[in-house]
Structure 1
Amino acid sequence: MNVHTNIPLKNYLSMKIGGQTRFMADVTTVEELQQLVSNTKAKGIPFFILGSGSNVIARDEEYPGLVIRVRIPGFEVIDENATTTTIKLGAGELWDDVVAKSVDMNLIGIEAMSDIPSYCGAAPVQNIGAYGQEIADTLLSLEAYDTEAEKMVTLSNDECKFTYRDSIFRTEARGRYIITSITLQLFKAAPEPPFYKGVQNYFDEHSVTIYTPQAIREAVIAIRHEKLPNPVERPNAGSFFKNAIIEQWQLDELLRDYPDAPHYEMDESRHKVPTGWLIEQCGFKGQSLHGFLVNPANALVLINESATGYLDLSLARGEITQAVQDRFRINIEQEPLEIA
């Protein structure tokens, strides 16, 4: 394990902005992680856990601490019966590699989350999800290093407090737990309709009538490639805004003025409205703001065309969120975490 100094964060983040981090290190075992965190705490140095860098942004100022990249491997079937297969995954496994393996095993549960750029350890942090699935649906438990108690712990699904694109790891326990493995329970069954609208539309357009995990995966990859620009070619952080979760009164108000506004019921009193639609109604889709292009194919995505720093991103974000608030009285939230 080597600790490197003065590393430009923009080289490790898909948005390609951000200053330096004072220290950076990769760990491949739990023991390395425990030793590194112990030494860091003893010296009073802050730390941040970085996954693939696809859902993280950094400020222009130097981060005065240690960025840790957890690369612990592992793919193990730990239980199996007639209907389910339970798999334990190291935090350093690439998420899409795991999805591909599960599809090859003819399992369902995460196939609609294909092509998400993430590591397994980062997946529960924001409760990653796509096209009707989220990791909260299949995660049984996870193992993590508790940096306060300085010991390994196991957290159940309930203890992670999953909500839409959120968890305990982004809220009250941010920075406390470092995930080292996750355990998923997947299912031995064929996917059944109704499918998420985008997936069903793809099936209809391509005359797909035999539903398999591979068919779902292929559809999702094709849809994502059409809507989401490749961050290697066009720097971006994926969906920059979360879809809006609104109360019933807000939905009533929205439908009064926009009867055809898309919306999805979350529970009896809350509804999800596509934030990309809200941004598009404000006229931003395809527009450039402070060096960022609002993706013409998906207004949730901000593409860094010429921005040189965090200030540019802050200005673009502010214009969009304020416009949505002024027009719809709906607050939209940034999805990527910030290194701080």
Structure 2
Amino acid sequence: MNISTDISLKQYTTMQVGGNARFLTEATAAEEIPQIYHDAQSRQLPVFVLGGGSNVIAKDEGFEGVVLLNRIKGFEVVSEDEQSVTLKIGAGEVWDEVVARTVDMGLSGIEAMSAIPGTAGAAPVQNVGAYGQEIADTLVEVEAYDSATDAMVVLPAEACHFSYRHSIFRGSQMGRYCITAIIIRLSRRAPQPPFYAGLQRYLDEHHITNYTPAAIRQAVIAIRRDKLPDPTVTPNSGSFFKNAMVSQEMLDAIRQTHPDVPNYAMPDGTYKIPTGWLIDQAGFRGKELHNMKIHDKNALVLTNPHAATYHDLESARQAIIQAVYDQFHVRIEQEPLEL
């Protein structure tokens, strides 16, 4: 096990801000995980598990602990029948490569989550989703190391307590588990309409009616390419803010001044309002502030053209949050975790 010291976190996070990690190590097999935690605990140091770094922001003071790069690979069929195929995916697999392989197999269930950066192990952490699909829809269970019990465990999907962009892994049990693999069940059945509004609009405009997993994947890639900047070219963390969840009363209040506010009814009786729309209405689309920039094609995305520090990002974030609150009385929330 190789351990590096005083390593800049900028190179491991797509926003490219922040300080150094005191220690950094890499795991390529689940069997390596317990020893990494044992060594950290013997030094009374915390462990932070990092995948692709696309949904994590590093602070300027860095991380006074051990950053564990999860690079555990694996892709295998564990069971199948006439309707579905169940796959076990190593946590360190690149998510979009996983999606591509399942689409090539003719399987449906995660094709609308194409082109999302990051790793498979990170997908359950924030219940990653896009265009009407989320990992909670297909996840069977999670294999993980439990640092509280010093044991390898299997958590069924219901134990993850999934909700919108949330799970126990970034909530009540944050820091407890290191996910080593995910088990997902995908369908042999072709994707079925109606699709998410933005996706359906693209399909209609391009006269696509043969709804195969491959067709949906290519449509999503085209949509994302048009509205989301490439983090390898322009540092960013994708969607920086979660979409806003509001009550019926709050939605009605916003409609008084903005009758055309886009909204989507949720199963729990709340309504989802696209936060990009709120930010756009507050006048931030394409605006630069504190060396950061709100993307000119998607106000949900905060990019880093010039910032060198987390402090710049923090200042820009707070200015956006306050402006949206002042105008709509809605408190928007950051999506990426902080290291």
Q: TM-score range by the shorter chain?
A: over 0.9
Per-residue deviation at 1:267? Answer: 2.0
Letter in 2 for 1:95: W
Per-residue deviation at 1:146? Answer: 0.4
Q: Name the counterpart of 1:200.
A: 200
Letter in 2 for 1:40: A
1:69 aligns with 2:69: yes
Say which SS state the counterpart of residue 232 (structure 1) adopts. Answer: coil
Letter in 1 for 2:109: G
TM-score norm. by structure 2 comes to 0.99
Matches within 5 A, 1:48-87: 48-87=48-87
Letter in 2 for 1:75: F
Q: Name the counterpart of 1:243.
A: 243
Q: Name the counterpart of 1:214.
A: 214
In the alignment of these two chains, the number of paired residues is 339
CA contact (8 A) 2:9 2:62 kept: no
Letter in 2 for 1:258: H
1:321 aligns with 2:321: yes
1:138 aligns with 2:138: yes
Listed one character per residue, the Cα deviations across residues 158-190 of structure 1 (whole Å, up to 9, x for unaligned) are: 100000000000011000011001000000111
User: Which 10-residue stretch deviates more, 25-34 or 169-178?
Assistant: 25-34
Per-residue deviation at 1:45? Answer: 1.1
Letter in 2 for 1:172: S
Per-residue deviation at 1:256? Answer: 2.1
User: Which 10-residue stretch deviates more, 211-220 or 42-51?
Assistant: 42-51
Say which SS state the counterpart of residue 245 (structure 1) adopts. Answer: strand
Say which SS state the counterpart of residue 39 (structure 1) adopts. Answer: helix
Say which SS state the counterpart of residue 121 (structure 1) adopts. Answer: helix
Say which SS state the counterpart of residue 122 (structure 2) adopts. Answer: coil
Per-residue deviation at 1:281? Answer: 0.3
Q: Name the counterpart of 2:118.
A: 118
Q: Name the counterpart of 1:254.
A: 254
Identity %: 54
Shift in CA distance, 69/268, structure 1 to aligned 2, threshold 3 Å: closer
Listed one character per residue, the Cα deviations across residues 32-91 of structure 1 (whole Å, up to 9, x for unaligned) are: 111111111111011111010111101111311110011111111111011010001111
Q: Name the counterpart of 2:295.
A: 295
CA contact (8 A) 2:241 2:300 kept: yes
Q: Name the counterpart of 1:161.
A: 161
Runs of 5+ consecutive residues of structure 2 not aligned to the other structure:
none
Q: Could you tell me how far apart the structure 2 residues matched to 1:65 and 1:268 are?
A: 39
Q: Name the counterpart of 2:109.
A: 109
User: Which 10-residue stretch deviates more, 30-39 or 126-135?
Assistant: 30-39
Per-residue deviation at 1:254? Answer: 1.3
Q: Could you tell me how far apart the structure 1 residues matched to 2:177 and 2:268 are?
A: 33
CA RMSD of aligned residues (A): 0.8
Q: Name the counterpart of 2:94.
A: 94
Structure 1 stretches (4+) deviating beyond 2 angstroms? Answer: none
Say which SS state the counterpart of residue 323 (structure 1) adopts. Answer: helix
TM-score norm. by structure 1 comes to 0.98
Matches within 5 A, 1:303-318: 303-318=303-318
Q: Could you tell me how far apart the structure 2 residues matched to 1:30 and 1:212 are?
A: 35
Q: Could you tell me how far apart the structure 2 residues matched to 1:161 and 1:20 are?
A: 32
Q: Could you tell me how far apart the structure 1 residues matched to 2:98 and 2:140 are?
A: 16
Listed one character per residue, the Cα deviations across residues 109-130 of structure 1 (whole Å, up to 9, x for unaligned) are: 0000001111111110000000
Q: Name the counterpart of 2:8.
A: 8
Letter in 1 for 2:60: D
Q: Could you tell me how far apart the structure 2 residues matched to 1:305 and 1:90 are?
A: 33
Listed one character per residue, the Cα deviations across residues 185-221 of structure 1 (whole Å, up to 9, x for unaligned) are: 0001111110111111111121111110000000000
